[in-house]
Amino acid sequence: MIKTVEDFDLKNKKVIVRVDFNVPIKDGIITDDNRIKESLKTINYIREHEGKVILLSHLGRIKTEEDKVKNTLLPVSIRLSELLNTKVTFIKETRGIELEKAINNMQNKDVLLMENTRFEDLDGKKESGNDEELGRYWASLGDIFINDAFGTCHRAHASNVGIASNLPCGMGFLVKKELDNMLPVMEKPELPFTVILGGAKVSDKIGVIENLIDKCDYLLIGGGMAYTFLKAQGKEIGKSLLDSEMIDYCKNLLLKTNKIILPIDNVTSKDLGSNICEVKEKLDYDDIGLDIGPKTRLLFQKYIKESKTIIWNGPMGMFENPLYCEGTRSICESFNKEQTVIVGGGDSASAVINLGYKDRVSHISTGGGASLELLEGKALPGIEILRSK
């Protein structure tokens, strides 16, 4: 069992919360503050229960001193303060006297944000390499550790696994929501169960295929990865994306199961930069397949409409270009409120949100890599360490 923030007596306690404030920032301005907003529930809960909130997050990657300037969490502290309508103390250090003093001076309900945990990566990758001393040091600053950063749970870092190894710990509301929505569906999906996979590469999705192929009734494959399957069937795929090392894998899978449904037509172009496209059932040697065609959309919709449970990862085409987003849109349109629909992170999540279909799905996972690993049936180190306590 994993404890949640609700299982602790928080009064007078210094609660270290690992949040995911890895937000896009351009010229010092936050362009999407959703991740900050999503952390508010856990922060507010701790404040309502008279705890002291010490926030830790990474932002971007830190390889040089210049990266530190670009990736300071200072703009996040300002936005967080606006959203909470309270003062947020920002500490420019990731260790040392200033940080320790500020924490020791905190009153109940106070909120403090420490500078980007990955500043420690400049010194021998201490954060990303889960340096033991660093995990112990950060843990020494608090009484309780709460992990609410689902997006980093597939990695063992000092700021999640390292701290959790040294303190009473549990999960925040955001991580709980991810697990509550994803795990039961994968363990016992209501049938018929359809998995939809798309995106660029077969090799990125093998783990998901292997974990879900026996459990699902149908596996619909679109996007760039479909062309490696079509090539395995001996079809002409022109200049479409091909994962040549995966052709044999696809061949064997197609022999083993008849659950896989592949595109029967495509939206193609001769040139990625051109705005001329054509619907084709058979590709020529110089065609690039960039979206599923109208017949495939209807075929996929038929399977989706019959299903009670759907898990979707990866767009059906190069959806960032409006010429090739109709396949992905048609998937969104086929969902109904009676179904359980889980959208697993990354590009399919942004497609659902950007195309305006957020309300049609039951759960959109916030973590790209983390949700993919959950769909692969893997144990996530950031979660497992909470379970073992």
Residue of 3, 41, 125, 201 marked active site = 201
Nearest residue to ligand AMP by CB is: 199
Identified binder of ligand AMP from the candidate list 204, 217, 333, 376, rule CB under 6 A: 204
Residue 121, token pair as written in the block: 């990566």
Residue of 13, 14, 18, 35 marked active site = 35
- Tell me how far, at minimum, the Cβ of 327 lies from ligand AMP, in Å: 8
- The answer to whether 241 contacts ligand AMP (rule: CB under 6 A) is yes
**H runs (alpha helix) in the chain:** 34-48, 65-70, 74-84, 97-104, 132-140, 163-164, 173-187, 206-212, 226-232, 247-256, 294-306, 326-334, 346-354, 368-375, 381-387
95 belongs to the catalytic site: no
- The answer to whether 223 contacts ligand AMP (rule: CB under 6 A) is yes
Q: Are strands 363-364 and 340-343 parallel, antiparallel or unpaired?
A: parallel
- The answer to whether 151 contacts ligand AMP (rule: CB under 6 A) is no
Using the rule CB under 6 A, give the single segment among 40-48, 118-126, 168-176, 196-204 that binds ligand AMP: 196-204
Of 51 and 314, nearer to ligand AMP (C-beta) is: 314
Residue of 60, 129, 207, 369 marked active site = 369
Question: Cβ of 48: how many Cβ atoms within 10 Å?
Answer: 10
Question: Cβ of 306: how many Cβ atoms within 10 Å?
Answer: 12
- The answer to whether 384 contacts ligand AMP (rule: CB under 6 A) is no
- Tell me how far, at minimum, the Cβ of 227 lies from ligand AMP, in Å: 7
Site string for ligand AMP, 25-64 (x = CB under 6 A): ----------------------------------------
Of 260 and 318, nearer to ligand AMP (C-beta) is: 318
Please state the φ and ψ torsions of residue 373, each to the nearest 5 degrees: -70, -35
Sign of CA dihedral 39, 41, 44, 45: negative
- Tell me how far, at minimum, the Cβ of 251 lies from ligand AMP, in Å: 20
- Tell me how far, at minimum, the Cβ of 124 lies from ligand AMP, in Å: 31
- Tell me how far, at minimum, the Cβ of 324 lies from ligand AMP, in Å: 7
- Tell me how far, at minimum, the Cβ of 309 lies from ligand AMP, in Å: 20
70 belongs to the catalytic site: no
238 belongs to the catalytic site: no
- The DSSP element (H or E) to which 272 belongs, if any, is none
Residue of 346, 367, 368, 382 marked active site = 346
List binders of ligand AMP among 280-319 (CB under 6 A). Answer: 289-290, 314-315, 317-319
Site string for ligand AMP, 327-366 (x = CB under 6 A): -------------------xx-------------------
Angle at 152 between CA 189 and CA 201, to 5 degrees: 65
Cβ atoms of residues 146 and 171 within 8 Å:
yes
Q: Helix or strand or coil: residue 139?
A: helix
Of 92 and 201, nearer to ligand AMP (C-beta) is: 201
201 belongs to the catalytic site: yes
How many positions of this chain bind ligand AMP (CB under 6 A)? 18
- The answer to whether 199 contacts ligand AMP (rule: CB under 6 A) is yes
Measuring CA to CA, which residue among 318, 338, 336, 316 is closest to residue 327?
316
Instruction: Measure Cα distances from 300 to 67, 88, 227, 295 in Å.
Output: 44, 49, 16, 9
Angle at 303 between CA 294 and CA 360, to 5 degrees: 85
Please state the φ and ψ torsions of residue 383, each to the nearest 5 degrees: -90, -45
Of 189 and 198, nearer to ligand AMP (C-beta) is: 198
Q: Are strands 111-114 and 29-30 parallel, antiparallel or unpaired?
A: unpaired
Of 77 and 266, nearer to ligand AMP (C-beta) is: 266
Identified binder of ligand AMP from the candidate list 12, 190, 320, 356, rule CB under 6 A: 320
Q: Tokens 């994803």 belong to which residue?
A: 182
Measuring CA to CA, which residue among 146, 141, 320 is closest to residue 223?
320
Return the active site residues. Answer: 35, 201, 346, 369
Give the interface with ligand AMP as residue ranges (CB under 6 A). Answer: 198-201, 204, 223-224, 241, 289-290, 314-315, 317-320, 346-347
